[in-house]
Structure 1
Amino acid sequence: MIPAARLSAAMEILDEIVEGAPAERVLTRWGRENRFAGSKDRAAIRDHVYDALRRRRSALWRSGAAAETGRALILGLLLETDPAALELLTGAGHAPAPPDADERAAFRCLDGAPPPVAGDYPDFLHDELARSLGPALPEVAAALKDRAPVDLRVNRLKAGDDAALAALAADGIAAAPVDGVPGALRVTGNPRRLTGGRAYRDGLVELQDAASQAVALLARPGPGEAVLDLCAGGGGKTLALAAAMGGQGRLVAFDANPRRMRDLPVRAGRAGARIRVAADAEVEALAPYDLVMVDAPCSGSGAWRRDPAQKWNLRPADLDRLAAVQAQVLARARAVVRPGGRIAYATCSLLAEENEDRVAAFLARNPGCAKGTERRWLPGAPGDGFYFCEIIVP
């Protein structure tokens, strides 16, 4: 496919997404129905679609269109990121039609756009984001408009950094260490080769955002401890905890939705990690734990560049629901941690409502518990936006 035809396909896919269809489902179906498109074509189209979704409000504003369409989003995206690419819109062959006089007259810059439009986030979140981030809000919003890097965690159960880098290089993948996060690597070349390469296949490296890795390290799981990952999800932090424990101790993984953990046994086997995937009733039966990791369900606002649909689907009622879930999970963690143990509370959220406020509410309900290490990472350095707070239990 020529570059212009890729833009046409992205417009077509975005039209369906604007109507409410999930992005991944539409992209998958498009790929199946258009077998002529090669892997590079599909990757480029996906990039166009997700770039437009990250900048959904600012792109529509830049286009000046009265209605949100795939064409309007791509026009606005190109105006913002690559104006020269508008020349590809010739109408010849499979290329989109060029902007007509009315469309060009509507084009505008972001000067005067409301902050949520310029920053590409929902209106209802503005006050909470401003409270949480203060003067950093515009810079953080800008960081969330761009694609996230591909980060890897060196699996210290199987390899050191040098061995992992050498194995990646043999697979044709370039990577470099991430400053400030031991064992974190950032892929700088050929990321799409990763899952087919030996380094990944043999468990020398795992895909994991660098800030997420930093959270697992700050939890300080000890080699001989009993550790519970209470919101394990796909198991990224569970595997990081296992590596930090050096394969010693007892590590239990649980998630309220067991389907999220369906790949964890295979991933653990590849990584050489011993992890017990627990059913609901086993969480208490296997207590007490020295450390309970609570990577709580949240808005995902710190990782919106990876999943932009998450921010556009978020509603005010969701924050109330999530706050209740976060409180429930913390209460369960408190019930199963041993005296003198630790709860490691974390979210990939930028919102104080899900972070500092939740910890403060927990401490108010649990006299004697105290804050230990507390840290917040903003998107960009070293990775996604994350919050971490260690809670020490008396």
Structure 2
Amino acid sequence: MTPAARAQAAIEVLDRIGPEIAAEQALTNWARGARYAGSGDRAAVRDLVFDVLRRRRSAAVRGGGEGGRALLRGSLLLSGEDPDRLFTGERHAPAPLDERERAAGSDPGAEDLMDLPDWLCALFRESLGDAAADVAEALRHRAPVFLRVNTLRADIATAQAALNEDGIATRPHPLSAQALEVLENPRRINGSRAFRDGLVELQDAASQAVVDALPLRPGQRVLDYCAGGGGKALAMAARTRGQVMAHDSDPGRMRDLPARAARAGAEIVPLPNPTGQYDVVLCDVPCSGSGAWRRAPEGKWTLTPDRLDALRDVQAAILRRAQGYVAPGGVLAYATCSVLEPENMSQIRIFCADLPEWRCASDRQFLPADGGDGFFVACMTRLR
């Protein structure tokens, strides 16, 4: 596909996204009907669509409308690109822009350039203060790609050498001692020897730093209570060099975890129903995902105040249940990939106020300025 044909495909996908069809589904439906599109074409169309979703509000203002053509035109103009290069009408390209379209649009204002709904602009400022605008700006752009070096299989130098064999350039990142930022050819990772042999795992640097913040030691009993795909469970197993129990309310989310653990040489035991007590219990709870909206930008536009309230109820309930699995002297860790105060320290204050035998021993908010996604982690201990 030519760049112009990819632009037309992106317009069609954008026009399909709505309350009933999510972005990933719209992309999948398009790809199924576009057998001529190779893997590079599909990746390029996805990039165009996600670039628009990251800055949908400002793209709509600059492009003069909410339709796919206007949004893509606005996104291109915001990036300093000339839309006429793609809107040529030749073969499978978008039709040329008419005079009405050329006259439409205006320069986005400061609120538009936060690329959030109005209620989230206000909540960002309440949660982040002076950092709100910088965080919102970071979420308008693509996220870097990070790897975690699996210390059960390799050290940093060995992993980098193996990645170099497949043309994947990396550099260490200060957020975590095991983090590598991918500089070249990120789409080669899954096919690389380093990945196949379990030397590295795809994991955001701030997500790795969350695990680094946990007081883990060899010999501890560890439970990942909201394991999901198991990225943090694998990182914890590498730190403790021992067994980690993994639980999720939806066991289907853990379906790939046994294969991932085998590749990594990690001992992960999925638990449908946890029992007993543990030295460290991690609750990486369901959340808005606001810290990771660079990777899943549709969440900006689908989150509502009611949905946020419902998530906070789920988070509080998980903390209440999980604290019963913490052994005397143990640690209850709470984590989100959110930058919103109501999901983060506010939850810890409420929990400790309701259960005064618990206290917060440490907490940390990671922001995109630190290099990775936005994450929050707090470690709590029970007073004797």
State TM-score, norm by structure 2.
0.97
Partner of 2:154: 159
Report the alpha carbon displacement of residue 19 of structure 1 after superposing the two structures with TM: 6.3
For the residues of structure 2 that align with 1:48 and 1:95, how far apart are their CA atoms?
A: 14
Partner of 2:294: 305
The answer as to 2:359 corresponding to 1:370 is yes
Partner of 2:77: 79
Q: Secondary structure at 1:307's aligned position in 2? A: coil
Over 3 Å off, 4+ runs: none
Partner of 2:347: 358
Q: Secondary structure at 1:376's aligned position in 2? A: strand
Partner of 1:214: 209
Partner of 1:197: 192
For the residues of structure 1 that align with 2:175 and 2:294, how far apart are their CA atoms?
A: 22
The answer as to 2:226 corresponding to 1:226 is no
For the residues of structure 1 that align with 2:330 and 2:199, how far apart are their CA atoms?
A: 31
Q: Percent of aligned pairs with the same residue?
A: 52
CA contact (8 A) 1:4 1:89 kept: yes
Partner of 1:52: 52
Report the alpha carbon displacement of residue 76 of structure 1 after superposing the two structures with TM: 0.7
Partner of 1:387: 376
Q: Secondary structure at 1:153's aligned position in 2? A: strand
Question: Aligned in 2, Cα 1:175/1:278: closer, same or farther, shift over 3 Å?
Answer: same
- For structure 1, the 5+ residue unaligned runs are none
For the residues of structure 2 that align with 1:31 and 1:20, how far apart are their CA atoms?
A: 18
CA contact (8 A) 1:57 1:118 kept: yes
For the residues of structure 1 that align with 2:165 and 2:6, how far apart are their CA atoms?
A: 32
CA contact (8 A) 2:6 2:41 kept: yes
CA contact (8 A) 2:73 2:83 kept: no
Amino acid at match of 2:212: L
Report the alpha carbon displacement of residue 137 of structure 1 after superposing the two structures with TM: 1.1
Partner of 1:238: 233
Report the alpha carbon displacement of residue 239 of structure 1 after superposing the two structures with TM: 0.4
CA contact (8 A) 1:178 1:186 kept: yes
Q: Secondary structure at 2:372's aligned position in 1? A: coil
- Bigger mean CA deviation after superposition, 101-110 or 16-25: 16-25
Partner of 1:348: 337
For the residues of structure 2 that align with 1:121 and 1:220, how far apart are their CA atoms?
A: 36
Q: Secondary structure at 1:134's aligned position in 2? A: helix
CA contact (8 A) 1:75 1:86 kept: no
CA contact (8 A) 1:89 1:95 kept: yes
For the residues of structure 2 that align with 1:218 and 1:51, how far apart are their CA atoms?
A: 32
What do the CA deviations read for 1:76-105 (whole angstroms, capped 9, x no partner)?
101101332433312122221222111111
Residues 1-394 of structure 1 mapped to structure 2, 5 A cutoff: 1-18=1-18, 20-65=20-65, 68-111=66-109, 115=111, 117-246=112-241, 248=242, 250-280=243-273, 283=274, 285=275, 287-394=276-383
Report the alpha carbon displacement of residue 220 of structure 1 after superposing the two structures with TM: 2.4
CA contact (8 A) 1:155 1:205 kept: yes
For the residues of structure 1 that align with 2:85 and 2:247, how far apart are their CA atoms?
A: 52
Amino acid at match of 1:259: G
Q: Secondary structure at 1:83's aligned position in 2? A: coil
CA contact (8 A) 1:147 1:305 kept: yes
- Bigger mean CA deviation after superposition, 80-89 or 370-379: 80-89
Amino acid at match of 2:336: T
What do the CA deviations read for 1:188-238 (whole angstroms, capped 9, x no partner)?
111111101110011100000000000011012211100110110110101
For the residues of structure 1 that align with 2:48 and 2:20, how far apart are their CA atoms?
A: 18
- Bigger mean CA deviation after superposition, 205-214 or 133-142: 133-142
What do the CA deviations read for 1:93-119 (whole angstroms, capped 9, x no partner)?
2221222111111121113x5x2x321
State TM-score, norm by structure 1.
0.94
CA contact (8 A) 1:78 1:86 kept: no
For the residues of structure 2 that align with 1:220 and 1:165, how far apart are their CA atoms?
A: 28
Q: What is the alpha-carbon root mean square deviation over aligned residues?
A: 1.3
CA contact (8 A) 1:173 1:189 kept: yes
